[in-house]
Amino acid sequence: MIDVAQVRSEFPLLAGRTIDDARLVYLDSGNTSQKPRTVIDAMTSFMETSYAPINRSSYRLAGEATEAYEAGRTAVARLINAPSADEVVFTKNATEAMNLIAMAWGRANLAAGDVVVLTEMEHHANIVPWQMLSQERGVEIRWIGLTPDGQLDLSNLDELLAGAKVLSFTAMSNVLGTIPPTKKLCAAAHAAGALAIVDACQFVPHNVTDVQDWNADFVAFSSHKMCGPTGIGMLWGKMEILDSMPPFMGGGNMIDTVTFDGFTTAPVPAKFEPGTPPIVEAIGLAAAVEFLEGLGLANIRQHEMALTRYALDTLNGRFGDDITIYGPDNVEVRGGVFSFAFRDLHPHDVSQVLDEKNVCVRAGHHCAKPLMQTLGVNATTRASVYLYNDEADIDALADGLDGASDIFGF
C-alpha cells in the first residue's frame, strides 16, 4: 500500500507549505495534481544542462534533446500499453486532443445525419467539439443517460448506437467519480460499426490503463493530472486510423515537403505535431510516468479505493441528510472524486470557508454543465483525492464543513 507520509514528503509544496502554521490539505487533484521533486528536478536539469531545439538541428546537443523528448513518448506508450510509441501524439492538453479527433477525423468522415453518441456525464472537452461539428455538418448527437446512483443507463445502448459512427465517453467522470465499463462500451461501439473514443483524463492517473485490452480507437489524457507539468497532453490512436486522417494544423515539423503547389505530411506522430513542441514538458512528463510506475498504479488504485470508502462513510455518517454526495456508493465503480451539496449553502461559500481552514476544494460546474442540468443543480462543491492524501485530509474536510455550519448558522 501507499506510504502517504513518504509520498507527501516528495512533493515540495505539500511538504513545505503552511498557512498560519497549519498544513495545506489539497483536495483538488481532479482539477490538477501537485508535482513531485523528481519532476521539478528533471525539468530544471534539462533546462540547465541539455536544452536545445529538437528534430531540426544536427549538432550533438540537439540530438540529445530529441532523444530525451522522445523518451517521454516512449514512457507514455509503456504506461498505457500502447503497441507503439509512434501512436502517441503530443498535444497542448487533452482538450486539444479531443478537438484533434473531432476536427481531423470528424471532418474527414462525418456528414449530415451521421450520429455521434455521448454520455450525460461528459466534460465540455468531449461535448463542445462534437457540437461544433454538429453545427458545421448537421451531425446528430445522441445521449446516454444516467441511473439514479450516477452510473450510465445502458438499457437502451443498442438503440442509441444504431447507425452511429462514434461513441465518445469518459473513462471516469470528473464530477461523479463514476467508472463506466470501458471495455464493454468499446466492444458495443465496434459491434455497431462505430469508433470508440475514450476521454481518460481522470482514469490514467489513478488506474492501470491498457488501451489494447480496451480495444479503443482513440484515448486522450493529460500530463498535469498525473503529477506532470501543464502544457502537454496525449492522444493515443490506432496507427491505421491516424495514418488515414488529414492533419489538424499546418506548419513546421508536420510536413514531409512543401512546394509552391502544395505539401505532403510527415509520418505519424509528427504529422499532428506542428511547430515547436513542449520539449521541457515532455521531460517532466517522462519523470512523472516513472514516479507513478515506481509507486505502482495498482497500488494507487487500491489506496484511493480505501480512501474513497472512508470519505463516503465519514461524510455521510457525520452529516446524514445534510449532505448529498453524487455518484455511486460502490467504490469498485467510482474513483476518488466527491461532488456534493451541503445543506442549503452555495458551493462557493462552502469552498471559501474550507479555504480558511487550508482545505482546497473546487466549486462550480466543473466543465460539465449538461451534467449539472441532469443533477438539477447549478454547481457543486468537489473534493478529489490522490496518492498524497490520507484519512486525516478527509477528517479536515469534515471538520471544515462543521465550521461552515457554524458560520452560516446551521
Q: Which three cell numbers mark 3?
A: 506510504
Are the beta carbons of 370 and 358 closer than 8 angstroms?
no
What is the rounded CA–CA span in Å between residue 404 and residue 346? 11
Q: Count CB atoms within 10 A of the CB of residue 147.
A: 12
Task: Give the long-range contacts of residues 319-327, CB within 8 A, separation 24 or more.
Answer: 319/398, 319/401, 322/410, 323/401, 326/150, 326/175, 326/176, 326/375, 326/380, 327/149, 327/150, 327/173, 327/175, 327/176, 327/177, 327/178
201 included as an active-site residue: no
Nearest to 368 by CA among 103, 141, 127: 127
Which one is catalytic: 201, 227, 360, 367? 367
Q: Which three cell numbers mark 237?
A: 490512436
Torsion angle defined by CA atoms of residues 141, 142, 144 and 146, in that order, rounded to the nearest 10 degrees: 90
Catalytic residues: 367
